[in-house]
Amino acid sequence: MRKNIVAGNWKMNKNHMEGARLASEILDGLRGRDIGCEVILFPTFTTISSVIDVVKGSAISVGGQNLYSERDGAFTGEISAEMLKNLGCQYVLVGHSERRNIFGEDSVFLSKKLRIALEYGLFPLFCVGELLEQREAGKAGEVVEKQLKDVLNGLGGDEISRVTIAYEPVWAIGTGKTATASDAANMHSLIRDVIKSIFGSEISQRMIIMYGGSVKAGNAAQLLNEPDIDGALVGGAALKADSFLKIIYASAK
């Protein structure tokens, strides 16, 4: 049985004081509850430390929103896997559509990032998803399959076992438009088939595949009810404790 993960991607929001406050409100909302899912917060780099101070010893994990593809060196402005790991991060986002589309990150680069994250013992949350024109052209499945194969092919069994996937249709991110539960479920099952074709059935059945793109308190239960949707990667609605907590409460499998 796969567990659900509910993760908050704070993007470039919340300074270290605001982040600590939000983390402590989320912690308060979870206290004394059997939440039955894993909760991860992805604050911006400068906010990570203060969030870790707040959630230390609790069930909440913390991750980085990005990392660089090299171990160390002259890469001004970049953050390494080792730095995240030493700070106390367990997870890192790789391949978020904003990295792909605003910063031009391609599969070759993402592949290196994912591998270096694994090398340093981080759990990569690998994001895939199609653009609106690709969906309208009937190419969504093809695009997502290629994104998966280009980066995941060649990983060993224990490497892929530490990867989590998030399907985030780009047209649904921050737009208020959500994939219908059945469209999302279809894509999740296609993703599981792709994983199966590369890594076999056992690994594909264990793979956690989250959905992201305008997940809110009002639509979370319906999405998370789909057997192939194992959680939510939440942007906008993760910036307020109240709406994020409602999504967590809705995720009990």
Please list the active-site residues. 96, 168
| Nearer to ligand PGA (CB atom), residue 122 or residue 233 | 233
Nearest-approach distance from CB 244 to ligand PGA, in angstroms: 10
| Nearer to ligand PGA (CB atom), residue 99 or residue 199 | 99
Distances (CA, A) of 168 to 49, 69, 85, 157, 215: 27, 22, 25, 25, 10
| Alpha carbon distance 185, 224 (integer Å) | 10
State both tokens at 18.
Answer: 């605001």
| Alpha carbon distance 115, 222 (integer Å) | 34
| Alpha carbon distance 113, 27 (integer Å) | 30
233 binds ligand PGA (CB under 6 A): yes
| Nearer to ligand PGA (CB atom), residue 122 or residue 232 | 232
Query: Residue 35 CB: number of other CB atoms within 10 A?
Result: 17
| Nearer to ligand PGA (CB atom), residue 173 or residue 203 | 173
Q: Which of 44, 69, 147, 214 binds ligand PGA (CB under 6 A)?
A: 214
State both tokens at 136.
Answer: 């309208």
Stretch that binds ligand PGA, among 30-38, 196-204, 228-236, 242-250 (CB under 6 A): 228-236
124 binds ligand PGA (CB under 6 A): no
Half-sphere exposure of residue 195, counting CA atoms within 13 Å on the CB side? 23
212 binds ligand PGA (CB under 6 A): yes
Nearest-approach distance from CB 178 to ligand PGA, in angstroms: 8
Q: Which of 29, 88, 141, 174 binds ligand PGA (CB under 6 A)?
A: 174
168 binds ligand PGA (CB under 6 A): yes
213 binds ligand PGA (CB under 6 A): yes
Stretch that binds ligand PGA, among 19-27, 70-78, 106-114, 206-214 (CB under 6 A): 206-214
| Nearer to ligand PGA (CB atom), residue 203 or residue 209 | 209
Nearest-approach distance from CB 99 to ligand PGA, in angstroms: 10
The answer to whether the CB of 208 falls within 8 A of the CB of 3 is yes
Phi/psi at 81 (5° precision): -60, -40
DSSP track, 100-143: HHTS---HHHHHHHHHHHHHTT-EEEEEE---HHHHHTT-HHHH
List residues near ligand PGA by CB under 6 A: 9, 168, 173-174, 212-215, 233-237
